[in-house]
Amino acid sequence: MRSSYKLNSGFGMIEILISLLILLIGLLGLAGLQALAQRSEMESYQRVQAIVLLQDMADRIKANRQASYCYGFTASSAQDTQFLGSSTASVTPDPTSLTCGTGSATYEATALSDLADWHQALLGASEKKGTTKLGAMIDARGCVVFTPDTTTTDNSDGTYTITVTWQGINPTFAPASGTDCAKNTYGAENLRRAVSMVVMVPNLN
């Protein structure tokens, strides 16, 4: 009788241990799902922020059409080095380096101010904690490439390809071919995220 009691007690202890193991595995799985959800949420948040910055520059170009050419600071062949947003960017808004077509000095000054503001927005200056800038994506960078309309003589006519890039949380895949803004600046290309928009600025004169 006593042996049967000990045997039943042993089986009961094993059942408890198995139940605890199953519970532990379930909790670990739940923690993993929660971490995955947080990473996905962060990725979505960064993409939304990038689209906001993209639209911001598009609106600035449209609003200052008279000096729109000033905004195309990125050479098509140098998108991997000519970008704004990084504190070590090789290009910063410099009035002496801008080549503008039509427009008065006032319009050109507005363009320069817009580029400087966009640079700060890419750095996250819209939101700070102490001296740390938090209002943008991780390592946000931006390019504006101007492609002239060869059918006109006005060098401000054409399209402006605006691209915003940032560093993703997890490796996925590299941006599409031709999307070269800040290329090779994030360690691995499958960490570089990018969104682009093409803005057309016709001559309305």
- Spell out the residues 6+ positions from residue 70 whose beta carbon is closer than 8 angstroms to its own: 64, 98, 99, 100, 103, 107, 108, 111, 112, 115
pTM over 0.85: no
Is 70 exceeded by the pLDDT of residue 183? yes
Q: Are 172 and 28 in contact (CB under 8 A)?
A: no
Give the model's pLDDT for residue 75. Answer: 84
Query: Bigger pLDDT: 123 or 89?
Result: 123
What is the rounded CA–CA span in Å between residue 74 and residue 67? 16
| Mean pLDDT, the chain, integer | 80
- Spell out the residues 6+ positions from residue 147 whose beta carbon is closer than 8 angstroms to its own: 76, 158, 159, 160, 161
What is the rounded CA–CA span in Å between residue 177 and residue 39? 26
Question: If pLDDT is split at 50, 70 and 90, which confidence band does 86 have?
Answer: confident
What is the rounded CA–CA span in Å between residue 137 and residue 186? 13
